[in-house]
Structure 1
Amino acid sequence: MIEQRMVRQAGENGRWMALGFLLFKIAFVVGLLLAVVYVTYLALPLLGLAVVVLSGLGGGSDEDGYMHGPSGYGYYMGGMRVGRLDDED
């Protein structure tokens, strides 16, 4: 009688363990997908924005609004003119 009860209890425990492991696997896969979405759509664009902002530091504009960065390359903000500052038009 006691042995049957022990076998039954072990079977119930095994079912709960299997269910817990299945839920853990599902949560793990969902967590991986969320991590990929976070890196792709949040972290990388923010990193790109930081690079753009930091690369613009040290630049300035001429009298005609011609923007140039620290490397000497220039461009209009609208993208109309691209080239070096010493180019003659």
Structure 2
Amino acid sequence: MTCQHLKEATDTAPLSAYPDGCPQCVAEGFHNWVHLRLCLGCGLVACCDSSPRRHMSAHHAAEGHPVMRSFEPGENWRWCFDDELLG
């Protein structure tokens, strides 16, 4: 099963490289982010829901961009926040 958001989402280049982790966590002085995610709506890179500050979920809530993908090496799965589907 998939949704229209996942079908229409195209890979997006990140806004910039993030060798030091979640840019929002780093800017706030935190280094305990877990995994990175890439918003396919705008290219923002942020931390996952396993991270204490859950910046990608906060980005979805604020901006409404429905699809993100893993930004971890070797992973290419996607998640639709609106329909709660993995793709």
Smaller-chain TM-score bracket: under 0.3
Q: Higher relative contact order at CA 8 Å, sep ≥6: structure 1 or structure 2?
A: 2
More strand per residue: 2
Q: Which protein shows a greater Rg?
A: 1
TM-score w.r.t. structure 2 length?
A: 0.24
